[in-house]
Structure 1
């Protein structure tokens, strides 16, 4: 489990992170969302002991990172797209990290196959594509078979097959009781992966809850097309609806589909289309960040 309590980081007069409190639970994938400059990476760096908090605490399984025994066997991390020496082969990179982590070298070949890099194991990692470097970074994070994964933009450079592979890997990890905290700007991918979301903006938490709760709280609109959009617009506004237009279609909030249909019938305007528009994660996130 990951937990932050009033985590704060101040640089001079800038509060990069302001009293952030959230939990990433075991057995679940938590999406950590925010625009550039929102404080996401600073928070992750404090969690991993790479930056000292001004105040507050960041805990992994109830301990600060620096107090963990065998941290590579407790936490696997991908930050900065996985730093590796371009002159090393993928295998040599993993072997050196295995030695530092106290992990048997036999695990290297297992992980090379697990992340789909067996064919490139003896090539210089400097010749890898971005997607291959991301796979190597994931293999490095998994070396110690840690129960907790902290991942900052792990999907950058992955093709569709790579995206599907990453989703399976992380869902399986959570399914075994592991904890996953993942930051990504690929919100359509996170929509298919995460159980919980934490949204930050200007260094503060804007929302922290299960994903399905976020969707239930989101404002749903109706898309309506009819013979006379002007008359429909007036009728919906008189009934208390909020209306905007996109070409021939009206977007209506504040009314149920049943209400919209009855109002159109009462206004004697034939309806060609009446559907519910459910916002996606990207739309919801941008609205929360803007607020």
Structure 2
């Protein structure tokens, strides 16, 4: 378990994190969503103790805190952050990097050969990393963390530079690690993929969590929307306003138009449905997906 209690991080006059409080449980994948520079990486750095918060604390396993060198060593043995591609040594091979992580996390590490096979990197892992493409370097970085095999795993843009096949491969691997009881925290911009495997998702803005979704509990509490998109959105919106004066709708940057269905009477809903059908526009009914949410909050 990780308890994040009232974390505040301030740089000058700017509060990058402003009172973040959450409890994360074993066997969960948590997605952090926000544009660059809005606190995602800072929160990960607080969890790693790379950044000391101005206020608040992080508690691991109910009682472990970064309050002494001894405690920090205990926590370090249980937590890892996926390395950045810039952390790789060009004069070393992929196998060399995997063995470094095996030694650093000797208490929890697994055999690198298992990870090499699982991530399909055997054909290049013995080469020096200066020869690697962006996607190859990214898979090696993930492989290093998987070898460490810590209970707490932090990842920043884990899918960056990967083709669809490797995105799918790594998504399945993350699911397997979740089933092993690990807490996995992923900062990501690939929202469609993140929504497939995350158990909880938090949106950060102005240092605060402005939206959260727990796929195990709160999904049914989400508001229901009627959604459509068309090349003629402007005309459709104006005509819908004539059909139902006072209708509230919002056009998102992803060209989707959304309307909360709670605003409609039964007759109005039928009228909207019939109008869209006559206009040959396919509509959907359901909760907003992450792309819709992102468009509302950040664009």
Give yes or no for TM over 0.5: yes
Number of aligned residue pairs: 283
Task: Name the stretch that deviates more: 45-54 or 210-219.
Answer: 210-219
Partner of 1:220 in structure 2? Answer: 225
Alpha-carbon distance in 1 for matches of 2:137, 2:36:
23
Of 229, 234, 237 in structure 1, the residue corresponding to residue 242 of structure 2 is 234
Q: Residues 129-157 of structure 1, C-alpha deviation per residue, up to 9 Å, x if partnerless?
A: 12111211112112232222111111101
Partner of 2:22 in structure 1? Answer: 22
Alpha-carbon distance in 1 for matches of 2:209, 2:162:
29
Structure 1, unaligned stretches of length 5 or more? none
Does the 8 Å CA contact 1:236/1:243 hold for their aligned counterparts?
no
Does the 8 Å CA contact 1:76/1:142 hold for their aligned counterparts?
no
The alignment status of 1:78 with 2:79, answered yes or no, reads no
Alpha-carbon distance in 2 for matches of 1:266, 1:164:
39
Partner of 2:92 in structure 1? Answer: 88
Does the 8 Å CA contact 1:34/1:199 hold for their aligned counterparts?
yes
C-alpha deviation, 1:264, in angstroms: 6.3
Of 112, 115, 123 in structure 2, the residue corresponding to residue 108 of structure 1 is 112
Bigger radius of gyration = 1
3-state DSSP class of the match of 1:120?
coil
Partner of 2:41 in structure 1? Answer: 41
Does the 8 Å CA contact 1:7/1:57 hold for their aligned counterparts?
yes
Alpha-carbon distance in 2 for matches of 1:105, 1:36:
32
Partner of 2:56 in structure 1? Answer: 56
Of 107, 117, 135 in structure 2, the residue corresponding to residue 131 of structure 1 is 135
The alignment status of 1:177 with 2:176, answered yes or no, reads no
Does the 8 Å CA contact 2:90/2:128 hold for their aligned counterparts?
yes
Partner of 1:286 in structure 2? Answer: 295
* Alignment RMSD (CA, Å): 3.4
C-alpha deviation, 1:83, in angstroms: 1.6
Alpha-carbon distance in 1 for matches of 2:295, 2:257:
22
The alignment status of 1:276 with 2:284, answered yes or no, reads yes
3-state DSSP class of the match of 1:143?
helix
Does the 8 Å CA contact 1:115/1:138 hold for their aligned counterparts?
no
Structure 2, unaligned stretches of length 5 or more? none
Alpha-carbon distance in 2 for matches of 1:223, 1:260:
16
The alignment status of 1:210 with 2:208, answered yes or no, reads no
C-alpha deviation, 1:165, in angstroms: 0.9
Does the 8 Å CA contact 1:22/1:198 hold for their aligned counterparts?
no
Q: Residues 156-210 of structure 1, C-alpha deviation per residue, up to 9 Å, x if partnerless?
A: 0111111001110111111222211111011111111211111111111212330
